[in-house]
Structure 1
């Protein structure tokens, strides 16, 4: 409220918005907003001596019908949560859908914050701790990425291999054309080279290229993956 009082005082002294913005170190848009609100509230400098900051705030920021309507147009968070499970659906798309139905609704950042708070109440989070050098988590990202040939303009879909150290979340990622066994093995080799070492365990998500049969504690590896693990003196474990 101190800034607003200063804006009203300097405006009464005849300073331009540019001069006031420079003097008070605030944006001209914000400054003009203060002046507009004061004008709408019928306030001018000098303010009544008995007017406290809380009273000034009530005059400048009354609970308008628009704000009441916004509170009444709460998003259906259960619907938002369900839609986010669909491929290609993002919070940005769902927010645009929400604002189309509620033009006076929440802005995008507030929409995201409120969803995060709602989602955080669904279930407790289990935090896992991994000793340094114990586990490397490997998998392909769910969506492919487009690779464009700079000469022909041809667009080709590529797979995204991701390997992340459990202790530090240090991550290696690369694009390959397929998820077949040769690409799967080669990506591991390049990941080990990138990290400069091999963890005690490598934890895949039962990718078909590397696992013949899924078992919780002891997945059955195909021969090539078993040879890779033996060569690098590591063990392959199921997600846990």
Structure 2
């Protein structure tokens, strides 16, 4: 209506022929193409909770299957329209250099011993500075205390400094006993933090959602 250049009162005075010319019923939406995308989204949505899920992977699969695919931006926009977020969220303000978040990715990777050909499963350690989202990722043999501390040390060397605090999930390698109020951090991890002049701040029990690696980093 605004683009037509007429006021609402003027439009009410026009006959059907004039209105039809001003407001065409023709749409530029390719219904077949759009419907095929909606059907593809049903499979994408079912795979949402699978380990290693990424939108980028499913978009690449979609491009290979569709003769005239949408761009990645439009693909993601149509998905959000079809499956709008219902869960509330809160925006957190992060100060540069104040905290480093650490956790292990849920899905293991595999390496192959070049001498024996043995396939070895490895854990994936992830550290992130939440203000800049600057990320450090390292593969290690286990989630044991010594591997956890070794990865944290490597992360600090990678960043070139230490934060005021390290926020970890309630990992067994970091916390002896979780608590909603004050977790019991193991002595080795305390000594590590004391050496680098920072504090350990585990997430609250039953709410360990530090960050969603699979949707942000495509790993």
Both proteins in one fold, TM over 0.5:
yes
Query: Whose relative contact order is higher, 1 or 2, with alpha carbons under 8 Å and at least 6 apart?
Result: 2
What is the RMSD of the two structures over their aligned residues, measured on CA atoms? 3.5
Q: SS at 1:164's partner residue?
A: strand
1:130-141 paired onto structure 2 within 5 Å: 130-141=94-105
1:189/1:224 Cα in 2 relative to 1: closer, same or farther (>3 Å)? same
Q: Tell whether 2:156 aligns with 1:192.
A: yes
Task: State the alpha-carbon separation in 2 of the partners of residues 143 and 204 from structure 1.
Answer: 18
1:190/1:166 Cα in 2 relative to 1: closer, same or farther (>3 Å)? same
Aligned equivalent of 2:135: 171
- Consecutive unaligned residues of structure 1, counting only runs of 5 or more, are 1-57
Q: SS at 1:203's partner residue?
A: strand
Aligned equivalent of 1:149: 113
Deviation at 1:82, TM superposition (A): 4.4
- Consecutive unaligned residues of structure 2, counting only runs of 5 or more, are 1-23, 205-219
1:233/1:124 Cα in 2 relative to 1: closer, same or farther (>3 Å)? same
Aligned equivalent of 1:207: 171
Q: Tell whether 2:36 aligns with 1:68.
A: no
User: Does the aligned pair in 2 maintain the 1:163–1:172 contact within 8 Å?
Assistant: yes
Deviation at 1:174, TM superposition (A): 1.1
1:63/1:120 Cα in 2 relative to 1: closer, same or farther (>3 Å)? closer
Task: State the alpha-carbon separation in 2 of the partners of residues 78 and 214 from structure 1.
Answer: 38
User: Does the aligned pair in 2 maintain the 1:218–1:237 contact within 8 Å?
Assistant: no
Number of equivalenced pairs: 176
Task: State the alpha-carbon separation in 2 of the partners of residues 174 and 190 from structure 1.
Answer: 9
User: Does the aligned pair in 2 maintain the 1:160–1:175 contact within 8 Å?
Assistant: yes
Task: State the alpha-carbon separation in 2 of the partners of residues 85 and 224 from structure 1.
Answer: 34
Task: State the alpha-carbon separation in 2 of the partners of residues 201 and 62 from structure 1.
Answer: 55
Aligned equivalent of 2:199: 235
TM-score, length-scaled by structure 2? 0.64
1:30-45 paired onto structure 2 within 5 Å: none
Deviation at 1:176, TM superposition (A): 0.6
Which deviates the most, 173-182 or 209-218?
Answer: 209-218
Deviation at 1:94, TM superposition (A): 9.0
Alignment equivalent of 1:83, drawn from 34, 38, 47: 47
1:85-133 CA-partner distances (Å, limit 9, x unpaired): 0225555559969x98xx8896584544411444554345422111122
Task: State the alpha-carbon separation in 2 of the partners of residues 199 and 62 from structure 1.
Answer: 55
1:134/1:119 Cα in 2 relative to 1: closer, same or farther (>3 Å)? farther
